[in-house]
Amino acid sequence: MYRRDFIRTAVVATPAAFALPNLLLASKTQVALPPGGFPDLVAVRNGEPAPMFDRAMANFGGMKRFVAKGQTVVVKPNIGWPREPRTGANTNPELVKRVVEHCVEAGAKKVYVLDHSVGPRNAVCYEKSGIGAAAKDGGAVATPGGDEKYYQTVEIAGAARLKTTKVHELVLGCDVLVNVPVLKHHMGARATIAMKNLMGVVWDRVAYHKLGLQECISDFCLFKKPQLNVVDAYRVTMANGPQRARPEDVLAKKMLLVSTDIVSADAAAVRILGATPEDAKHIVLGHQKQIGNMDLSSLKIDRIAL
């Protein structure tokens, strides 16, 4: 059983984990917009999920910068597992609700919360994770992705391995895609963050493993990149993910990263796991394929402590 005793708050970690340009070491001062416009990435720590997202979006200029009145939005959390929020297996439902609320307040005509959960238990995952109820409370339509008839075959230009795949029609038809992964260790990919979270909008994930997981994760991002990536690092699975994590593997980091660049988001978040982008090859491949930028030293980063 997951008890509060096992969820250890860790604000300061090893230098390897935080080998960013002071990314997670901000003082509790207000952060002004950097010269030349909005930041590339915002890192917030020491808060609850919803207030951290509010603060990050204030620095990004608000959700109206990304969502126009009358547009259709797909919010893509990780709802992969039939587990409760305290386990950190899925995206925090409080964060999902707040992201949806921001989209609704920005004027979205329709907001869908979508994931293709692992196995045949999509509805159970939505219920146990708390995300189904949170989505509805925020004003979205909770849409389990477990029916193949809603997927359409697409070709991916420039892909090395994943030349074609089936993508959910909501993602193909939406105006805005907001990617809301939870940060976790992953035995196969080293980390599951923003890039890998998009596996939840395709039908055949087995093909990724047959063709080469890391390459396919990066290939799909050639086809579809979210307008916004919101990395939930509130409860972080540090080891034995995604299925075999023990209670002591889950740490309450109380962090949030937001970026328009999916590769930058992953390059920053993977360091919270005590790893580097080179440890998760799909991040390096994303950089090499010019999907995004993993060179954090070149980014404008806002660092906020609540």
Structural domain boundaries enclosing 50:
4-305
Q: 75-132: per-residue pLDDT in tens? A: 999 999 999 999 999 999 999 999 999 999 999 999 999 999 987 788 999 999 999 9
Using an 8 Å Cβ cutoff, are 277 and 287 in contact? yes
Check pLDDT > 90 for residue 1.
Answer: no
Whole-angstrom distance, CA of residue 53 vs CA of residue 98: 8
CATH of residue 272's domain is 3.40.50.11440
Question: In the structure encoding, which two tokens stand for residue 129, read together?
Answer: 């994770």
Q: Among candidates 236, 280, 275, which has minimal Cα distance to 262?
A: 280
80 CB-contact burial (10 Å; exposed 0-12 / middle 13-18 / buried 19+): buried
Q: 152-182: per-residue pLDDT in tens? A: 999 999 999 999 999 999 999 999 999 999 9
Q: Which residue has the higher pLDDT, 240 or 176?
A: 176
How many CA atoms does the CB half-sphere of 290 hold within 13 Å? Answer: 1
Span of 1-10, 20-29, 60-69 with lowest mean pLDDT:
1-10
Report the pLDDT value the prediction gives residue 244, as an integer from 0 to 100.
Answer: 82
Question: In the structure encoding, which two tokens stand for residue 172, read together?
Answer: 């193909």
Whole-angstrom distance, CA of residue 97 vs CA of residue 251: 22
Whole-angstrom distance, CA of residue 285 vs CA of residue 123: 34
Q: 196-229: per-residue pLDDT in tens? A: 999 999 999 999 999 999 999 999 999 999 999 9
Name the domain count of the chain: 1
